[in-house]
Amino acid sequence: MHPTFSIVFFTTASGAGFALLLLIGVGVPLALLPDDAGFGAAALLVAAVLIAGGLVSSAFHLGRPERAWRAFSQWRSSWLSREGALSVLTFVPAVIFAFGWLAFGATGGFAGLCGFLAAAGAVASVYCTGMIYASLKPIRQWHNPWVVPNYFALGLMSGFLVLDLILRFWVVRPVGIGLLSLAAVLVAWWIKESYWRSIDAGTAASTVASATGLGRRGAVRMLERPHTEENYLLTEMGFRIARKHRRRLRNIARLAAFLVPVVAVLVALVWGGGAGRIAAAVAVLSAALGLVVERWLFFAEARHTVTLYYGADQV
């Protein structure tokens, strides 16, 4: 599948933003995070920018962006519509929570409830993002039980890393969040490796024989394409990545998204203060780069059944 940059950016940015919203929406009403208006304003602003930036970016992927509002209508059947509707709806409790907290200092009662509702909306939105891909049966690498856990784990990991960085401007050495960030990165790494193992192991039930209904005489192979030049199907669904590049890119993702953040978070846990802030910033930047590579690969490694009609034996 062709990795469109607007979608790579949308899924990584909104994943981090929703996870940050989840952590604040739960952590502040339960008094697990500091009740400080400056911290609140910074954290909520970063979350809003990540979510809204992602949503705006996703609209650039559309052929007719001016009609994007229509995408909120088909929530009964479409995961994409559910994602769009829930992402926007989540802003309602999030704004009430932010207003209650920052303007009136209220983190319990109705404001706290809105924090929980915003957190629930964030979780539901990320679930819908994962399901958009996991529900597509023609793409084996997406129609896979590890896809939704991947979106959750990678989002949560990036949310924790961003929260850890922001928190360090108010708390010298936030040990609890640091340890949780470390755990989140390790869990996300394990889930990503499990996903890669899973897609490497299996093959799709669909083959060129089932795609054409042929095979009673023996093996089926393509003789001639319908057209000599590219078409939409080949550029959008026929995107391929060389095996050696795939391996190298996976290693880059491992290094940047997981290994460097693990080391940086450990450094930040030990030192705190200015050095801790620098280490946490390194973790965030490295993870951002690593997750963009990881998300790019998520598309590039996905192979659509339509390629069976264009010379692929299996997908």
Partner 1 sequence: MTDLPASPPGRKQLGLVIDLDICVGCHACATACKEWNSGGHMAPLTDFHPYGGDPQGVWFNRIHSFEEGDGEGARTVHFPRSCLHCAEPACVTVCPTGASYKRAEDGIVLVNEAICIGCKLCSWACPYGAREFDADVGVMKKCTLCIDRIYNDNLAVEERLPACVMVCPTHARHFGDLGDPNSAVSEMVARRGGLDLMPELGYRPVNKYLPPRLDRMAPAPGPAEPPAAPDPAEGNRLLRWIDRLLSR
Which residues face 314 on adjacent strands?
A: 207
Whole-angstrom Cα Rg for the chain = 22
With contact defined as beta carbons under 8 Å apart, do 125 and 86 qualify? yes
Task: Give the C-alpha distances (Å, rounded to integers) separating 51 from 16, 69, 221, 267, 274.
Answer: 8, 17, 46, 29, 28
What's the min distance (Å) between Cβ of 201 and partner 1? 19
Six-digit token pair at 90?
Answer: 């989540």
Residue type at position 299: F
**Residues at the contact surface with partner 1, assessed by CB under 8 A:** 1, 61-65, 67-68, 70-74, 76-81, 84, 132, 135-139, 205-206, 208, 210-227, 229-233, 236-237, 304-306, 309-310
Nearer to partner 1, 217 or 244 (CB): 217
What's the min distance (Å) between Cβ of 314 and partner 1? 12
What's the min distance (Å) between Cβ of 210 and partner 1? 5
What's the min distance (Å) between Cβ of 242 and partner 1? 23
Nearer to partner 1, 179 or 205 (CB): 205
Rounded CA-CA distance 106/98 in Å is 9
Task: Give the C-alpha distances (Å, rounded to integers) separating 29 from 25, 56, 312.
Answer: 7, 29, 54
What's the min distance (Å) between Cβ of 32 and partner 1? 36
Nearer to partner 1, 81 or 107 (CB): 81
Q: Classify burial at 313, counting beta carbons within 10 Å of its beta carbon; exposed 0-12, middle 13-18, buried 19 or more.
A: middle
Nearer to partner 1, 192 or 304 (CB): 304
Residue in the block written with tokens 């963009």: 292
Nearer to partner 1, 167 or 208 (CB): 208
Nearer to partner 1, 288 or 315 (CB): 315
Which residues face 304 on adjacent strands?
A: 139
What's the min distance (Å) between Cβ of 235 and partner 1? 9
For residue 310, give the DSSP letter.
G
What's the min distance (Å) between Cβ of 4 and partner 1? 9
Nearer to partner 1, 104 or 232 (CB): 232
Six-digit token pair at 44?
Answer: 């909520």
Task: Give the C-alpha distances (Å, rounded to integers) separating 55 from 6, 19, 280.
Answer: 9, 15, 26
